[in-house]
Amino acid sequence: MNPILVVGSVALDTVKTSAGFIEDGLGGSATYFSLAARYFAPILLVGVVGEDFPREHKALLRDRGIDCSGLETAAGETFRWSGKYGKDANVAKTLATHLNVFKDFRPKLDEAHRSAPVVFLANIDPELQSEVLSQMKEPALVACDTMNFWIDSKPAALKELLSKVDIFFCNEEEAEKLAKRPNPLQAAEVIASWGPSVVVVKKGEHGALMKIGSRIYIFPPYPMAEIKDPTGAGDTFAGGFLGYLASCGVYDDVGHLKRAMAYGTTMASFNVEDFSTRNIEDLDRDRIDERFHDFLDRMSVPRAEDLLKSRRPVAA
């Protein structure tokens, strides 16, 4: 098995959506990622929480098999984020970001951390993402994510980081802002010119696209009648995507990358069905694969010659 090292925020989130409200719920980019990716590969989590971080949250991560030896507890308060979503569930309005213990966090990786073949630099200060990457031995795959907060406050550090990563994940709004382009296709083109060989742009309820070389691959979303809380959808997407690739140990094959997009979509669809991490805490591979295959089936359009072999009447 190929372990994935993830560094990113471990947070207490206060979120309001049209379906309800949650105060100080378990959140953070590294948390969502780890909970989703652990169905596919062993996870080594690197981050920091404050003394106020509830014991049961740490126990939840450990009980799910996530290696928390790199999750420090420091004097001070846990990272906190609060946001709200209006009618458009694709765009979070950040109300407050309190870095707290992340302000002075200097991660020290041990031998197992440094040897991980896959690294995910989840959304956090790009200088911290670079610091972790510089301690890694020789990872086979490096991926990262970011968000508006860092695009606005540390654009140079982010661009420097992007020259060292293989896969970059972001949402549509962030891609356009970062690349200063009016649409996701143009934005992905600019971002790819800075380094990443694969650029994944997520468009919330409108699906996602993946740019590899000169080709763009498009993916619909898994159809959901109700989205309760979109927080963490991007990180669970990355968790399904990288978890799947790590489970195969193949990182540069277009077919595997397309399947990774479908696993990312599948994991994100579970996440948005409930607040915080509730709906991704206790899934299993059978449920995940059932939805994954359903998604593949819905996406596929038969070739004319295949219609003759198997016809599927509309009404059963």
Binding of ligand AMP at residue 27 (CB under 6 A)?
yes
Residues 125-154, mask of contacts with ligand AMP (x by CB under 6 A): ----------------------x-x-----
Task: Please state the closest distance from residue 285 (CB atom) to ligand AMP, in A.
Answer: 22
Residues 65-94, mask of contacts with ligand AMP (x by CB under 6 A): ----------------x-------------
> Side chain identity at 87, as an amino acid letter?
K
Binding of ligand AMP at residue 29 (CB under 6 A)?
yes
Q: Which is nearer to ligand AMP, 57 or 117 (CB)?
A: 57
| DSSP labels, 203-262 | -GGG-EEEEETTEEEEEPPPP-S--S--TTHHHHHHHHHHHHHHHHT--S-HHHHHHHHH
In the sheet that 20-27 helps form, which strands lie side by side, from edge to edge?
A: 20-27, 11-17, 79-85, 92-98
How many residues sit in the footprint of ligand AMP (CB under 6 A)? 17
Backbone angles phi, psi at 306, to 5 degrees: -75, -25
Closest CA to 128 of 79, 180, 201, 199: 79
Q: Choose the binding region for ligand AMP from 39-47, 219-227, 231-239, 305-313 (rule: CB under 6 A).
A: 231-239
Task: Please state the closest distance from residue 88 (CB atom) to ligand AMP, in A.
Answer: 14
Q: Which is nearer to ligand AMP, 188 or 268 (CB)?
A: 268
Q: Which is nearer to ligand AMP, 124 or 144 (CB)?
A: 124
Backbone angles phi, psi at 301, to 5 degrees: -115, 120
Asked whether the beta carbons of 85 and 16 are under 8 A apart, the reply is yes
State the burial class of residue 84 (Cβ atoms within 10 Å of its Cβ: 0-12, 13-18, 19+): middle
Angle, in degrees to the nearest 10, between helices 233-248 and 254-271? 140
Backbone angles phi, psi at 58, to 5 degrees: -65, -40
Binding of ligand AMP at residue 231 (CB under 6 A)?
yes
Residue 308 token pair: 């003759």
Binding of ligand AMP at residue 221 (CB under 6 A)?
no
Q: Which is nearer to ligand AMP, 96 or 301 (CB)?
A: 96
- Which positions from 162 through 201 interact with ligand AMP, judged by CB under 6 A? none
Binding of ligand AMP at residue 13 (CB under 6 A)?
yes
Binding of ligand AMP at residue 232 (CB under 6 A)?
yes
Q: Which is nearer to ligand AMP, 117 or 208 (CB)?
A: 208
Summarize as ranges the residues that interact with ligand AMP (CB under 6 A): 9, 11, 13, 27-29, 81, 97, 123-124, 147, 149, 231-235
